[in-house]
A and B are shown apart, each in its own frame.
Chain A
Amino acid sequence: MIHVRDLTVTFGQGTRSVRAARDVSFTVAKGESFGLVGESGSGKSTVLRVLAGLNPYWTGEATVGGVAVAGRDARLPRMVQMVFQDPYASLHPRHTVDRALSEPLEIQGIGDVGPRVERALTDVGLGPAFRFRYPNQLSGGQRQRVAIARALMLEPKVLLLDEPTSALDVSVQAEILNLLRRLRQAHGLTLLLVSHNLAVIAHMCDRLAVMNRGQVVEEMDVATLRRQEPREAYTRQLLLASRGYDREVAAGIVTYD
């Protein structure tokens, strides 16, 4: 469903250019949930934005559902949509929930707007009472539900998730993760989830790739992650550091280039 080969993303030009991703390759099967995990600057979000068609500066091969991401193909909007990290920044402050959810339908010329909007709201557990609210009348968790509903309005096959819960409280995070799992089942979605949180990745994904400094360090299935038996030292360190504070671990931290 998602196919990425030798993806290299370069920002800037000449000597000042920065390679945000280098020769990244991975494949995600239909209906699978795949995680990209790494620290800041690892290039995980850069790869996601390429697949979303939001980053034009890359070389290599990238297709979603058989459609090349390179040209702004008219089939892409109905193939792939995205949920962003910050629910406070991803909704237009002067658009009601109704407007936010009708926009994709109107842009794509799909009718039957009202009932579809109400169904979508019910689907993400909000209900029609929220339909005419403005974003400033919603909590962070409710906003993220609206953002998820909006991403699903065009019934895409692939959902890209960029740290969808890292701006939320833990109790709200649980609700959103449950919702995403349920929607994945109900709609047969393929998920690509970017996160720095290994526990969230372990909970949501079937397979994952660990990234560092723009490169994929290793790829593994979730069972390997749960057993905490990674192949690479970098991943091992990441796992140890995620467990909470430990004096010994802190002293032994090294930088991997």
Chain B
Amino acid sequence: MNNPRASGATTTWRAQLLTDTPASRNQARLGQFYRGWLQFKRNRLAVLGLLIVLLLIVVAAFAPWIATHDPYAQDLARRLLPPGTPGNWFGTDEFGRDTFSRLVYGARITLMIVVLVAAIAAPIGLLVGTAAGYAGGWLDTVLMRVTDVFLAFPSLILALAFVAALGPGIENAIIAIALTAWPPYARIARAETITIRNSDYIAVARMQGARTARILWAYIMPLCVASLVVRVTLDMAGIILTAAGLGFLGLGAQPPMAEWGAMISAGRRYVLDQWWVATIPGIAIITVSLAFNLLGDGLRDVLDPRKS
């Protein structure tokens, strides 16, 4: 209030975004985005989820500066120290490596898994689902039966099978998870497509002479993306847990890589006497999974196409 010029400027860009008469496509898009943000902001828990996810990104990006130690530097004299020890605030593991620094570097791996799985699974699901839903007939039958086959296996078991075939390692774990994650997305995209397929605006596009590829790309996919984004966000927790599970079973990240699941796996031998070695990465996994869930819930409220 004591700086009228600043508050004046604020109202102007707000008014620009919320105007009913935007002057360009970009302004209209930004305005739409801003309205969504205003609505999202009202959900406190979702904002908390978003903040934690943003924190994860920041930590992953600046890991070398945030970490207090080299995550791979062993110091057997300082092994299995409890949390709160000066210099190793989250304690150390069985090789005397700093748990905090390993968590910070582990954030990179977690984030990489999440991004890569989303980048592989969501587009496959979107493409398969919209194509099946729009075309119908034999293409629908074939694509959906393939989807059913994938859905019939529990995803961790299927991922295990893939990793066993491809060989252990973080890259193969990601590919395996992505290959097991797409079928639900295909189902969602197909269901959405079927409700959209017969709408009047699709009929208009067909009358204007639009080809199938254009209808899928410009008309159907934008409407499916919203529910997919929500679903992918909600699935992130599961993906992180699957990755951690593979890491725990020794089929994901390989030692000495700082991956949260592998850290729990290594710490489980000491769980009775030095509980923190396994617990601290566990807390990290829970926190990030929960954050993605909260974020997904908030996004669903904003993006749900059935509203408005």
Distance in angstroms between the alpha carbons of A104 and B204 in the assembled complex: 9
| Contact present for A89 and B207 (CB under 8 Å) | no
Question: Which residue of the partner chain A has the closest CB to B211?
Answer: A107
Chain B residues closer than 8 Å to A213, beta-carbon distance? none
Residue in B21, B201, B218 whose CB lies within 8 Å of A132: B21
| Contact present for A84 and B203 (CB under 8 Å) | yes
**Nearest Cβ distance between residue B132 and chain A, in whole angstroms?**
20
Per-residue CB contact flags for chain A residues 143-157 toward chain B (1 = under 8 Å, else 0) read: 000000011001000
**Does A42 reach chain B (CB closer than 8 Å)?**
no
**Does A26 reach chain B (CB closer than 8 Å)?**
no
Per-residue CB contact flags for chain A residues 85-101 toward chain B (1 = under 8 Å, else 0) read: 01001111111101100
Chain A residues closer than 8 Å to B269, beta-carbon distance? none
**Does A65 reach chain B (CB closer than 8 Å)?**
no
- Contacts A93-B223, A94-B223, A107-B210 given; indicate if A134 touches B204 (C-beta within 8 A): no
24 A-B pairs within 8 Å (CB atoms) are namely A52-B207, A54-B203, A77-B207, A77-B208, A80-B207, A81-B207, A84-B200, A90-B199, A90-B200, A92-B219, A93-B223, A93-B305, A103-B208, A103-B210, A107-B205, A107-B209, A107-B214, A132-B21, A132-B22, A132-B24, A133-B28, A134-B32, A136-B308, A154-B208
Chain B residues closer than 8 Å to A132, beta-carbon distance? 21-25, 27-28
**Does A129 reach chain B (CB closer than 8 Å)?**
yes
| Contact present for A137 and B20 (CB under 8 Å) | yes
**Nearest Cβ distance between residue B217 and chain A, in whole angstroms?**
12
**Does B222 reach chain A (CB closer than 8 Å)?**
yes
B32, B208, B210, B222 — which one has the most chain A CB atoms within 10 A of its CB?
Answer: B208
Chain B residues closer than 8 Å to A52, beta-carbon distance? 203, 207
**Nearest Cβ distance between residue B177 and chain A, in whole angstroms?**
30
Question: Which residue of the partner chain B has the closest CB to A96?
Answer: B28
Distance in angstroms between the alpha carbons of A76 and B219 in the assembled complex: 21
| Contact present for A96 and B204 (CB under 8 Å) | no
Chain B residues closer than 8 Å to A81, beta-carbon distance? 207-208
Chain B residues closer than 8 Å to A53, beta-carbon distance? 206-207
A: which residues have CB within 8 A of B? 52-54, 74, 76-77, 80-82, 84, 86, 89-96, 98-99, 103-104, 107-108, 129-130, 132-134, 136-137, 150-151, 154
Residue in A74, A89, A129, A151 whose CB lies within 8 Å of B199: A89
Chain A residues closer than 8 Å to B201, beta-carbon distance? 89-92, 95
Interface on chain B toward A: helix, strand, loop, or mixed SS? helix
**Nearest Cβ distance between residue A101 and chain B, in whole angstroms?**
11
**Nearest Cβ distance between residue A214 and chain B, in whole angstroms?**
21
Chain B residues closer than 8 Å to A94, beta-carbon distance? 222-223
A76, A132, A136, A154 — which one has the most chain B CB atoms within 10 A of its CB?
Answer: A132
Chain A residues closer than 8 Å to B25, beta-carbon distance? 96, 98-99, 132
For residues 15 through 49 of chain B, which have their beta carbon under 8 Å from a beta carbon of chain A? 20-25, 27-28, 32
Q: A80-B207, A90-B201 are in contact. List 16 more A-B contacts (CB 8 A).
A: A54-B207, A77-B208, A77-B209, A82-B203, A82-B204, A91-B201, A92-B223, A96-B25, A96-B28, A98-B25, A107-B209, A107-B214, A129-B21, A132-B21, A134-B28, A151-B204
- Contacts A82-B207, A107-B210 given; indicate if A130 touches B222 (C-beta within 8 A): no
Question: Which residue of the partner chain A has the closest CB to B23?
Answer: A132
For residues 245 through 280 of chain B, which have their beta carbon under 8 Å from a beta carbon of chain A? none
Chain B residues closer than 8 Å to A76, beta-carbon distance? 207, 209
| Contact present for B200 and A86 (CB under 8 Å) | yes
Question: Which residue of the partner chain B has the closest CB to A150?
Answer: B204
Residue in B21, B203, B205, B222 whose CB lies within 8 Å of A103: B205
Chain A residues closer than 8 Å to B219, beta-carbon distance? 92
- Contacts A52-B207, A54-B203, A77-B208 given; indicate if A133 touches B223 (C-beta within 8 A): no
Chain B residues closer than 8 Å to A154, beta-carbon distance? 208
Question: Which residue of the partner chain A has the closest CB to B225?
Answer: A94
For residues 95 through 137 of chain B, which have their beta carbon under 8 Å from a beta carbon of chain A? none
Residue in B22, B28, B209, B223 whose CB lies within 8 Å of A74: B209
Question: Which residue of the partner chain A has the closest CB to B305?
Answer: A93
Residue in B20, B22, B200 whose CB lies within 8 Å of A89: B200
Distance in angstroms between the alpha carbons of A91 and B20 in the assembled complex: 18
- Contacts A86-B200, A90-B201, A94-B222 given; indicate if A130 touches B21 (C-beta within 8 A): yes
Closest 7 CB pairs of A and B: A90-B200, A77-B209, A132-B28, A132-B22, A84-B200, A104-B208, A129-B21
Distance in angstroms between the alpha carbons of A11 and B209 in the assembled complex: 24
Question: Which residue of the partner chain A has the closest CB to B32?
Answer: A134
Distance in angstroms between the alpha carbons of A89 and B210 in the assembled complex: 19
Question: Which residue of the partner chain A has the closest CB to B29?
Answer: A96
**Nearest Cβ distance between residue B288 and chain A, in whole angstroms?**
31
Residue in A54, A89, A108 whose CB lies within 8 Å of B206: A54
Residue in A90, A108, A133 whose CB lies within 8 Å of B20: A133
| Contact present for A108 and B209 (CB under 8 Å) | yes
